[in-house]
Structure 1
Amino acid sequence: MTFEVLRDDDPRCAVLEAAGYRIVGESWAARLRDPDPAKLEAAVLRAEGVTVGELGPEYADAWHALETANEKDYPYTPATHRVVQPVEELAALWTTGRVFGALDGERLVGATYITLQGETGFTSVLDGYRGRGIGQAVKAASILALLDAGVRVFGTGGAALNDASLGANLAFGYVIEERWRSYAPPDDAKA
């Protein structure tokens, strides 16, 4: 099935809806400008029972295992659908960004990837560790590191139905600048 993905302020949304297209997903994009380091540092310290820090490429296999375990939990929309990359592709991300993680002993239980320009690619926390501030902690650590490198504007986004992600980002001061709608064709167009 072919989906149409449009910003919610695009006049074509009304045209699609009048033609019987259905909204099958919504997503958002947000920016954080000149974040408060104290708020970020507090988020890192709040993470319960884990050690938070930057990870090197030697964690590629552990990161792949974390992402594979979490794949079924990623919210699906046509605009935000995520398929776990092979371990070699994950390892290659260290050339374009940085990875921060949360370790429970030797076990990687949370991770985030951020580009050198400050765009978060994704953040994930292993089931059973969610709700303990770990996602916020790894994301905060990544932002702090890029602040030290001179980055002042950060970007992120996600599926609108992922309330935890949205709430964590808003708590840091991210402001939603774009909302997107994913449309499926009318039911009679499926054939």
Structure 2
Amino acid sequence: MQPEQIVVKSDDPRCVELEAAGWVVVSRSWAAQVTASSVDIDVLSGAVRRGRRPGDVREIEDGDLESVLLLDYMTLADYLGGVATEHDPLTTSTARVKHTRRGFGAFDGGGRAFAITYVDVDGRAAETDFTSSLQNFAGWASARR
């Protein structure tokens, strides 16, 4: 983050004060928070079942890394950059899942990733690092050739 930038939520009371002082919005990010105690397991399980229709939704494994790296490369232009949507390209090391960095993906029948998300875990808290997906799953074959 550049020294002249700050990050505030859109409903932060300081927004009015900052805008009056000449600050301008240079990027936005959609964000969400899930509190485990408020999760409806049936709704979440249904979403996972629906997500499996075109493929398999599961944790990323070492055997998936080539496909995950390709998807990440194919979607790099989707990140506008700046503090709200910054994303560093994955490497084999940063794509590998471990207990403090979980990764999940949706994979087609051939094992090709068409959606991925990575979450950094710190104790009982987790923060989404990034999520990428192909805009048009049907376009995967032409993108692969």
Same fold at TM > 0.5: yes
Q: Residues of 2 paired with 1:51 and 1:107: CA distance?
A: 10
Q: Which has the higher contact order (CA 8 A, sep 6+)?
A: 1
Q: Residues of 1 paired with 2:104 and 2:83: CA distance?
A: 27
Partner residue of 1:68?
73
Decide which of 97, 102, 127 is 1:98's aligned counterpart: 102
Q: Does 1:55 align with 2:60?
A: yes
Q: Residues of 2 paired with 1:4 and 1:31: CA distance?
A: 20
Name the TM-score, length of structure 1 as normaliser.
Answer: 0.56
Partner residue of 1:115?
120
Runs of 4 or more, structure 1, over 3 Å off, are: 13-16, 115-118
CA separation of 1:108 and 1:36: change in aligned 2, threshold 3 A: same
**Aligned length in residues:** 128
**Between structures 1 and 2, the one with greater strand share:** 1
- Whether the 8 Å CA contact 2:87–2:130 is kept in 1: the answer is no
Q: Residues of 2 paired with 1:78 and 1:43: CA distance?
A: 30
RMSD: 2.5
Q: Residues of 1 paired with 2:131 and 2:115: CA distance?
A: 7
- Whether the 8 Å CA contact 2:101–2:119 is kept in 1: the answer is yes
- Aligned pairs (5 A) from 1:40-189: 40-47=44-51, 48-91=53-96, 93-104=97-108, 105-116=110-121, 117-129=125-137
Q: CA deviation at 1:70?
A: 0.9
Greater shift, 31-40 or 20-29, is seen at 20-29
CA separation of 1:28 and 1:125: change in aligned 2, threshold 3 A: closer
Q: Residues of 2 paired with 1:118 and 1:16: CA distance?
A: 30
2:94 aligned counterpart, secondary structure: helix
Alignment gaps of 5+ in structure 1: 131-191
2:66 alignment partner AA: D
CA displacement, residues 94-135 of structure 1 (integer Å, 9 cap, x when unaligned): 2413222111122111112223443322222123129xxxxx
Alignment gaps of 5+ in structure 2: 139-145
Q: CA deviation at 1:64?
A: 1.5
- Whether the 8 Å CA contact 2:117–2:130 is kept in 1: the answer is yes
CA displacement, residues 73-100 of structure 1 (integer Å, 9 cap, x when unaligned): 1344423321213222222x42413222
CA separation of 1:74 and 1:113: change in aligned 2, threshold 3 A: same
